[in-house]
Amino acid sequence: MTEPNPKVPESTQVIRFPDCDPFNHLNNGRYIDYFINAREDHLAQHYDFEIYKLANKTGKSWVVSQNQIAYLSPAFLMEKVVIQSTILELNESDITVEMRMWNEQKTKLKSLLWTKFVHFDFRESKRINHDKQLLDQFLQYVNPLANPISFDQRVAEIKSRKYDEL
């Protein structure tokens, strides 16, 4: 059994009835909800980082500025899926996170999402830079790709590899 990668936390979710279409597939619009909820859990459980506590205390958090998603295989009603997340890029004001949804055995990739988050001051209603403490905290978890590639190239790359090779 492979050791968990601290840069790629994962969790298991169950696909629920209200989130499915009439064909018992996870509705396309709900994939992002599952991904974002899993990412929030990963931050809290694996990095001891509570984004809502930070937002309440400082008025600062992140907003989504861009999503790129590929739907590769349906997730079905009551199916257990594994969701992973990892920071691909981090700069002074942005974080790009890759999220993957697998079947429970991690043999079939169901969906891939790249989300770009912008650090934002809600009190000032403007984009801001990360402070040094946040940058230092997250830098240890950055997991960049070996070579810069497009989202479509990443989808093809992951589809051609086994889970254990990632």
Per-residue pLDDT of the chain (166 residues; tens, 9 = 90+): 456 788 999 999 999 999 999 999 999 999 999 999 999 999 999 999 999 999 999 999 999 999 999 999 999 999 999 999 999 999 999 999 999 999 999 999 999 999 999 999 999 999 999 999 999 999 999 999 999 999 999 999 988 875 555 5
* 59-82: b (≥16 Cβ within 10 Å) or e: ebbbeeeeebbbeeebbebebebb
The per-residue pLDDT for 163 is 56
The per-residue pLDDT for 32 is 97
Q: Which amino acid is at 53?
A: K
- In the chain, domain spans: 10-165
Is the dihedral angle over the CA atoms 16, 41, 80, 88 positive or is it negative? positive
Q: For residue 130, which phi and psi values (nearest 5 degrees)?
A: -65, 145
pTM (predicted TM-score) = 0.93
Q: Which amino acid is at 42?
A: H
Cα 60 from chain centroid (whole Å): 20
Q: Which of 73, 38, 34 shows the shortest CA–CA distance to 158?
A: 73
Q: For residue 160, which phi and psi values (nearest 5 degrees)?
A: -90, -5
The per-residue pLDDT for 102 is 96
* Residue owning tokens 């984009």: 127
The CATH fold assigned to 10-165 is Thiol Ester Dehydrase; Chain A (3.10.129)
The per-residue pLDDT for 159 is 82
* Other beta carbons within 10 Å of 37: 13
